[in-house]
Amino acid sequence: MYRFFVEPSQVEETVIRICGSDVNHIKNVLRMKTGEEILISTGETMEYTCYIEEFLEDEVTAHIMYAQEAGYELSSKIYLFQGLPKSDKMEWIIQKAVELGVHQVIPVATKRAVVRLEGKKEVNKQRRWQAISESAAKQSKRMYVPEVSHVMSFKEALAYANNLDVILLPYERAKGMQETKTIINSIKPGQSIGIFIGPEGGFDEKEVEQSMDEGAKAITLGKRILRTETAGLTVLSVLMFALEE
């Protein structure tokens, strides 16, 4: 069953009015018909099961059959601070991170990042990344579309993460796996979590020191060396297993 997202203001007593690009997608891409059932979320806790009632020129009217609290989301909000990778790796990272339950993805321009985005190029990339997040959220039955923020400097990213309950930093010089297990097991459901992942070249030593000064906890991901596009998803998978209720 296809899922769509709307603003709370689009929900009326018995109907939901779908507008924007989803109208063309429903009509001309999915070629759906009246009577077909769909799922709709407003980005809150309620999920609406509806059937398509009417096609208008610039909107689709969906009749609400019933609403329920879906409970698909993790109790903890997880923020992925991803050092800008090369090529189109960021698109893959965003897609999979959304599937795994990330709350927000923050692209970070670290010292060793090869990619540099600014101006119109950054705007276009961010728009593309947000579209990928929305598509992944629909596919994985998320209750909202995780935001992909503008590109932050490392200093800005640390400041942004300052109010989070836990900051994790996968680092090759971290202590053994037992220490990492202790850190992961100490995280309580409901706590906000930041994950800092370096680009292909990893973090600069000063960036690691700055992270530690801000309270980041260094963890190991095992004896094998993981690519930047694997590391963050590994941590997300571990946290999902630990925090899923």
| Nearest one of 54, 31, 38 to 4, comparing CA atoms | 38
Spatial separation of the C-alpha atoms in residues 147 and 6, rounded to whole Å: 15
Helical axes 228-243 vs 177-186, angle rounded to 10°: 50
In tens, the pLDDT along 217-236 reads 999 988 888 999 999 999 99
| Tokens, residue 200 | 């292909």
In the predicted structure, residue 31 carries a pLDDT above the cut 90? yes
**In 10 A of CB 38, how many CB atoms?**
21
Split at pLDDT 50, 70, 90, the class of 46 is: confident
In the predicted structure, residue 58 carries a pLDDT above the cut 90? yes
* Residue 195 CB-density burial (10 A; 0-12 exposed, 13-18 middle, 19+ buried): buried
Are 73 and 43 contacting, i.e. CB atoms less than 8 angstroms apart? no
Phi and psi torsions of 52, nearest 5°: -70, 120
Query: How high is the pLDDT of residue 224?
Result: 86
Q: What is the mean pLDDT of residues 117-130?
A: 86
> ∠141-147-153 over CA atoms, to 5°?
145
Q: What is the mean pLDDT of residues 79-88?
A: 92
